[in-house]
Amino acid sequence: MTKRILIVDDEPNIVVSLEFLMKREGFEVAVAMDGEAALKSVEEKTPDLVLLDIMLPKKNGFEVCQTIRANPELQAVKIVMLTAKGRDTEVAKGTALGADAYMTKPFSTKDLIAQVRQILGES
Amino acid sequence: MMKRSILTGQRLVAVFLLGCVLFNYPVIALFNKTGELFDIPLLYLFLFGAWALLIGLMAWVIEHRQE
Amino acid sequence: MLQAWVIASVSFAYLGVLFAIAYYGDKRADAGRSIIANPTIYALSLAVYCTTWTFYGSVGRAASTGIGFLPIYLGPTLMAGLWWFVMLKIIRISKANRITSIADFVSSRYGKSQLLGGLVTIIAVIGIVPYISLQLKAVSNSFTILLHYPDIVMPARAAAQPLLQDSALYIALILAAFTILFGTRHLDATERHEGMVAAIAFESLVKLLAFVAVGIFVTFFLYDGFGDIFDRAELVPKLKALMTVDDTGASYGSWWSLTFLSMLSIMFLPRQFQISVVENVNERHLARAIWLFPLYLLLINIFVLPIAVGGLLRFPDGSVDADTFVLTLPMAEQQELLALLVYIGGLSAGTGMVIVETIALSTMVCNDLVMPVLLRWKSLRLHEEHDLSGLLLSIRRWAIAAILLLGYVYFRAAGEAYALVGIGLISFAAVAQFAPAIIGGIYWKGGTREGAIAGLVAGFAVWIYTLLLPSFAKSGWLSLDFIKEGLFSIGLLKPQQLFGLTGLGEIPHSLFWSMLANIGCYVAVSLRRRPDVVETGQATLFVDAFRHTEGEQRSRFWRGSAQVQDLLPLIGRFLGPERAREAFLAYARRRGVGTIDQLEANADLVHYAEALLAGAIGGASARVMVASVVKEEPLGIDEVMNILDEASQVRAYSKQLEQKSRELEAATAELRAANERLKELDRMKDDFISTVTHELRTPLTSIRAFSEILLEDPKTNLANRRKFLAIIVKETERLTRLINQVLDMAKIESGNAEWHTADIDLQEVIEETLAATSTLFADKRISLEKHLAADLPRVRADRDRLIQVMLNLLSNAVKFCEEDSGRVTVRLSAESGVARVDVEDNGTGIAEADQATIFEKFRQVGDTMTAKPQGTGLGLPISRQIVEHFGGRLWVRSSLGKGATFSFTLPFDTGDARQEERRQND
């Protein structure tokens, strides 16, 4: 069964690259450009994993993460946070809010794929 | 004890100096003339007028002081 | 008909009323509920200044010298303005040092000198006794005149009357008894007489009422108002002359010197000092007196000239003495009751003066003349007496009687002679001699005992020679040759033209020479030596009176040992053992000690005892007496100077300390603020770096991801490969732009940017930018309108930077416009002194709330995918910096959905800007 991955980022070029990478790895990919669209997409069809940017319009990554974690039906959803702000406090905040992993932009595509696979228990 | 407001003191000294000018030569010489105003001799009218003015000023300064 | 018994019983009834008021006032004072604790009563009691010399004499003077009588009342009005400083200081000093009279004041100031106290007393008695005679004469004359009602008969010369039929003698005796009754009821440490003050205030009201009543009667009933009287006076040349003063230097000089003389008199006449200083209950009362007392003077003088003119018109033949017009005018008009009221008013004026003056003089005679002599007179064995309070009281009573009898004797001797008539101003000139020693004493620390004595003696001697002796000569007691030829027929010694000084009246002449001698000797002799220990101590207490609280400093100038067992009996001997015990007990309680035995006999107690004693026998004698029972270790002058230096140093240090701590506080506050600013800057810098980091990482992310994709998978299809490479290129450009702008911003902000300033034609710049951006417009099919004013003055700016600003604004406009329907308008116009450029679009607009933030770094508006702005978020901040650098302004006007207009201004080149630049570059 193909795992479903939701990509949430407001930078079109990053979305293009992530979409290409994840599809190439054989995942089913959905895309959201802002926080609200992300939550809508999660509700419509629950993904197995969310690649979540933090600096997002409308609702930021932390809020999206919090909302997903607050929903008991979505406990299985894995969350990997992506951010360009590499501060320790943000890493800690993300982890505290229930993110499963945290990656700093720019990231190595290999590392990202490895991380995703590991979290999905496929490695 | 009476607190001495500096401003009040200065105002009173100013009134004193004004009085010194009004009640002395050459100002009184200006009014030291025969002739009447409102049927009152000029010098008499001036002296009592200036006197009343000084008293009025002092009363104002004293009764409007802030302690 | 007014029978003698009617007038006599009215007089006694009036005196009875006075006594009742005084008695009530004393009772209330004893009960601690003073009736004179009121500023209005204080001001009224000061009107003891107005004696019969005012009540009857002013009209007499006005009838002969016209309006020239006024300076005597204008002077006190002027002086009242200075009371706030001078009188308040004297009052405070007197209260702190328990001063009981003007002699006590002078003697205390110059080291408690008994000699000085005695000297002041003698001057006062000689100067004032004739003045008391004048009151007796006036009262007795008014009695005699009233007795002949309705006929108007001038009193014969008093001396012609047999002694036992002379009303003046009885008046003197009655007044003596009256004064003794409520002036010396008991010895008081403060020497205050509240009942007497109440009676004096009442008398002031009565004499004012009486005088104003006559004034109104004469002005409005006898004649038809002020205008009528003055119109009639106009017709008589002699009367017309009264309305002006002689237009000569001498006359103005006399005007000035009378004003000056009365300024000093209002302070230093013994009765004025008694009422305004010694009897003052609360120094706050002084404030109202400053205007109320001059008002009283104005009211009592306003009818003087009309009455004088009225009298001269009514009695044109000169048969009636002008001094009696106040009384004789109502009599001539058969106004019996009014005449009686006038008589009572005159009685008020006379008794008020006599009572206060004799009390003041008797205190001086007792404390500064008799007691020092008695205490030195070893054979009297006064030191062994246990209770001297009775003796003190009887000395004062005898002094009162003696002074009044002396006044009567002078009256008998002088009669109608000049020596009595002219005495008012002569008395004033005598007490004016106190002025240098007192005024100098409270403002100058350098005055010494010898200086004060020399000044007083010299001034007084000149006064005797130039005023008193001539008045005797005019009375026929001395040869008139003395005046005409001078002493020993030496012309330069003519008493009224001393050293050939002519052209002055007798009073200005005497005032000039006596003041010159007085002040000259006071200053010159004082400067011969440094003030000694006691003088320095007292000088500090007097001159710095406003700086010290009571008792703070006094005790520091005393060192020695004492015993309560010695002090208590000493005080008891003068105040009475019972009062002394009470006073000590009260002191003990204030110190928080239960009984007298537990009291510590320290410097404070010694000073308390001395002050108690000073109230009874005067400062100088008190010092002698206290010194006789305590062992005082004399302080050297150096020690006193040290104490003073120390005090001033401590004051200076504490001032410095206060100053420093204020400065420190201010510095701390500044530091705190600076720290806050730094923290804020730090936070801003952090945010900035974090934002820049984010902006850099975002394109890098795409670049790295696609690079890796391409690297790992060379078999990517061509379309994708192209797409990915295009993205990489685009993101690299974005990165470059960002880096350039960040550097640009940093340069501008730090002031390191390079500016190539030149005269710029804005129109040309705009045209050029529009040409460069034409493809942008064409791509989105956005229409462009331009309204550019031609031939505007040039502006001073950097051409490339301005192009940068225009590019930024135009690309922003294009960015936010819809395709096809977009429209951008560019305007160039002139405003006052500036060129203005507007770039208007019909795009999405900017919400009110965002209009300020768009000029902040990295703040972009728009949050949806489609509206995701292109750019770094640094364009507008940089543009604004550039415009402001050239003295302009950049702002935006917009509302959401209705487009936006970005505008900026630049000042036209006026040449100033260039000079400014040159100056900066030099």
At residue C455 the predicted structure's pLDDT band, cuts being 50, 70 and 90, is very high
Touch test A–B: 3 Cβ pairs or more under 8 Å:
no
Q: Are C120 and C436 in contact (CB under 8 A)?
A: no
Per-residue pLDDT reduced to its tens digit, C486-503: 667 666 677 777 777 777
Asked, as a colleague might, if the bond just before C150 is cis with ω within 30 of 0, I would say yes
Say what the pLDDT of residue C865 is: 33
Task: Please report the ipTM that was assigned to this predicted complex.
Answer: 0.93
At residue C869 the predicted structure's pLDDT band, cuts being 50, 70 and 90, is very low
Distance separating alpha carbons of residues C312 and C60, to the nearest angstrom: 10
Q: Which residue matches tokens 């209705």?
A: C898
Q: Which domains does chain A have, with CATH numbers?
A: 4-119 (3.40.50.2300)
Mean pLDDT computed over every residue of chain C: 80
Say what the pLDDT of residue C190 is: 53
Say what the pLDDT of residue A93 is: 76
Spell out which residues of chain C touch residue B65, defining contact as CB-CB under 8 Å.
287
Backbone angles phi, psi at C860, to 5 degrees: -120, 150
Structure tokens at C509: 């002449």
Asked if the Cβ–Cβ distance from A106 to C703 is below 8 Å, we say: yes
CA angle at C531 for the pair C528 and C533, rounded to the nearest 5°:
150
CA distance C606 to chain B (A): 25
Touch test A–C: 3 Cβ pairs or more under 8 Å:
yes
Question: In terms of pLDDT, which residue wins out, C97 or A50?
Answer: A50
Question: In terms of pLDDT, which residue wins out, A34 or C122?
Answer: C122
Q: Which domains does chain C have, with CATH numbers?
A: 4-376+387-432 (1.20.1730.10), 555-635 (no CATH), 639-745 (1.10.287.130), 754-921 (3.30.565.10)
Spell out which residues of chain B touch residue C227, defining contact as CB-CB under 8 Å.
38-40
Per-residue pLDDT reduced to its tens digit, A76-101: 888 888 887 766 677 777 777 778 88
Asked if the Cβ–Cβ distance from A85 to C690 is below 8 Å, we say: yes
Distance separating alpha carbons of residues C222 and C439, to the nearest angstrom: 47
Interface contact A103, partner C, CB < 8 A: no
Chain C neighbors (3+ CB pairs < 8 Å): A, B
Q: Are C862 and C873 in contact (CB under 8 A)?
A: no
Interface contact A40, partner C, CB < 8 A: no
**Strand C757-760, strand A78-83: pairing:** unpaired
Distance separating alpha carbons of residues C630 and C609, to the nearest angstrom: 11
Asked if the Cβ–Cβ distance from C256 to B4 is below 8 Å, we say: no
Query: Taking the mean position of all CA atoms in its chain, how far away is CA C9?
Result: 49
Nearest to C344 by CA among C357, C332, C369, C326: C326
Long-range CB pairs of C864-871 (<8 Å, 24+ gap) are C864/A33, C864/A34, C864/A57, C865/A10, C865/A12, C865/A33, C865/A34, C865/A57, C868/A10, C868/A12, C868/A57, C869/C815, C870/C815, C871/C811, C871/C812, C871/C815
End-to-end CA distance of chain C: 108
Distance separating alpha carbons of residues C720 and C173, to the nearest angstrom: 138
Spell out which residues of chain C touch residue B40, defining contact as CB-CB under 8 Å.
226-227, 230
Asked if the Cβ–Cβ distance from C284 to B44 is below 8 Å, we say: no
Question: C592: Cβ–Cβ under 8 A, 6 or more apart, which residues?
Answer: none
Asked, as a colleague might, if the bond just before B26 is cis with ω within 30 of 0, I would say yes
Q: List, as one string, the DSSP characters of C527-554.
A: TTS---HHHHHHHHHHHTTTTSPTTTTG
Question: A84: Cβ–Cβ under 8 A, 6 or more apart, which residues?
Answer: A55, A104, A105, C693, C694, C695, C696, C697, C698, C701
Per-residue pLDDT reduced to its tens digit, C687-739: 777 777 777 888 888 898 888 888 887 777 888 888 888 888 888 888 888 88
Structure tokens at A118: 């590991």
Nearest to A82 by CA among A38, A46, A42: A38
- From the number of C-beta atoms within 10 Å of its C-beta (0-12, 13-18, 19+), residue C283 rates as middle
Q: Which residue in chain C is spatially nearest to A103 when comparing CA positions?
A: C701
Question: In terms of pLDDT, which residue wins out, A113 or C611?
Answer: A113
User: Across the strands, what pairs with C826?
Assistant: C786, C839
Distance separating alpha carbons of residues C25 and C196, to the nearest angstrom: 8
Per-residue pLDDT reduced to its tens digit, C63-120: 888 888 888 899 999 999 888 888 888 888 888 777 888 988 898 888 888 888 889 9
Q: Are C195 and C26 in contact (CB under 8 A)?
A: yes
Distance separating alpha carbons of residues C191 and C273, to the nearest angstrom: 13
Helices vs. strands in chain C: H and E counts, helices first:
39, 9
Q: Which residue matches tokens 């208007």?
A: C840
Distance separating alpha carbons of residues C895 and C847, to the nearest angstrom: 5
Residue C915 has pLDDT above 60, yes or no: no
Q: Which residue matches tokens 């993101």?
A: C731
At residue B57 the predicted structure's pLDDT band, cuts being 50, 70 and 90, is very high
Distance separating alpha carbons of residues C786 and C762, to the nearest angstrom: 13
Say what the pLDDT of residue C603 is: 74
Per-residue pLDDT reduced to its tens digit, C148-187: 777 777 765 444 566 667 777 888 888 888 888 877 766 5
Nearest to C406 by CA among C196, C135, C588: C135
At residue B2 the predicted structure's pLDDT band, cuts being 50, 70 and 90, is very low
Q: Are C826 and C774 in contact (CB under 8 A)?
A: no
Per-residue pLDDT reduced to its tens digit, C261-296: 899 999 999 999 989 988 888 888 888 889 999 999
CA angle at C469 for the pair C467 and C474, rounded to the nearest 5°:
90
Distance separating alpha carbons of residues C505 and C257, to the nearest angstrom: 10
Say what the pLDDT of residue C159 is: 47
Backbone angles phi, psi at C821, to 5 degrees: -90, -5
Q: Are C259 and B47 in contact (CB under 8 A)?
A: no
* Average of per-residue pLDDT across C217-231: 87
Say what the pLDDT of residue C382 is: 58
Per-residue pLDDT reduced to its tens digit, C499-532: 777 777 788 888 888 999 999 999 998 888 887 7
Helices vs. strands in chain B: H and E counts, helices first:
3, 2
